[in-house]
Structure 1
Amino acid sequence: MSGVSVSHSPSLSPKSALEQLQSKLTSTAPSGLKKISSALTWKFSKEEVANMLTRIERLKSLTQIALDFKLSQALKNDTTVITSMVRLLQESQDSQQCRIITDWLSSTDFSAQQSDFIARRQKGTGLWFVVSPEFTNWLQGTKQNLFCPGIPGAGKTTIAAIAVDHIWKAFQGDNVGIAYIYCNYKRRETQTATGLLAAILKQLVQERPLYGEPDATLHKRHADRRTPPSLDEIRTALNSVINNY
């Protein structure tokens, strides 16, 4: 229903009804006693009165329908706005809760390191690597490892960051999980297997918060007791999240 309008046909128009009344009431009356008699005489028949009352009632009904429709449209618009606001608030709360859980899971921010490495590279650096047959075959394959050894200072970290950046751009928008870690011999005491796997789990959930139920379960189990999740728990949660990709 796109709208409601009141018809102005002769049978319903208030103008025509008023014109009929005016015509009856202002018609030329005779003089003398006939004038007095005419003034005291009801100028409408019973049928005419009933007809005009019916037309007035129909006009009132149509007017009420139009007003009700406009009111319902206004309420519908208000409801749509309220629903949108509630959805935005819910999404904001979900995002905040996801951030709380992932930060609890791992305080290491490898994404910040990745951004720093990419920002410091020279333009064109490492492009030879991402177009090499070894890299492209690895990228297009399944369940493969690409081992790239090198002496300290050879540029392995920069090449790894370039590879990660290339993969991000290649699979942007796809349901592909991308996670990475940068090991540092100066932090070998803190970069444990549990911590590194937790960092990978954190990244995968940050990419797809809808897959974060295993993380939420771990958080609920350990946060209040202030106990860290075990290696087995992290591994189980990681496998569960990976299966969604």
Structure 2
Amino acid sequence: MTQQPIAFYYGDGELDRLSRFDKVVLQADFYRREELDLLRERGVQTLGYLSLTEDVGPEAPWQRPERNPDWGGSFVHTGDPRWVAHVVDQARRAIAGGFSGLFLDTLNIEFNYPEDLPHLLYLIAAIREEARPEYLLANRGFGLLPQLADLVDGILFESFSARWVDTGSYAPWPDDVLEVHAEVAERLLGLDIDVYALDYAEDEELTEYAYRRAREFGMLCFVSDRVLSRI
């Protein structure tokens, strides 16, 4: 059976279905070492989820008072040495626990906290050096380009063509946003990295639209629901 390029799944189990993919992004705490080893034996590269600018844990000194309105996590002072140590420790434990690599999320801080961009690049470099993952996949992080491309192996364009909306439904982006995304995609494809797309859809028509548009830009695509519960 031909392997599919990538999947994003934030549930647990489903090892047989995950085995159909070259790479899978998983929640780091949801899988035991023997499960990850089984996937590796089947030729699957497992990437553990890691948030770099938001903290869903208990109150901590590195947290800002503001929270992400969609997911509830606290924004952090990315350059706080205690946060850096905390994230690097998470990265080390994920790799020691059997993950091949890491998926770096919450990198889009250029509009809210642009002063933290240099700190974020430092944090990514520290993860690369200290945890030594086989593969680093960054989610967006366009405000970090072009330096980001020297630190990671791939970049994901989340919600490239389709998105979830406040009503809980799914829709393509309007034309003006699609044009901006196309410009960013062209820039990404000029870099020496892998480029992926992740889109959100429920019906077959929107799903096929997302896959088709990703192919037009030479991007490998995966389509799921808002909470990534579908393989």
TM bin (shorter chain): under 0.3
Given the two structures, how large is their TM-score scaled by the length of structure 2? 0.25
Larger radius of gyration: 1
Q: Which structure would you say has the larger RCO, counting Cα contacts within 8 Å and 6 or more residues apart?
A: 1
Given the two structures, how large is their TM-score scaled by the length of structure 1? 0.24
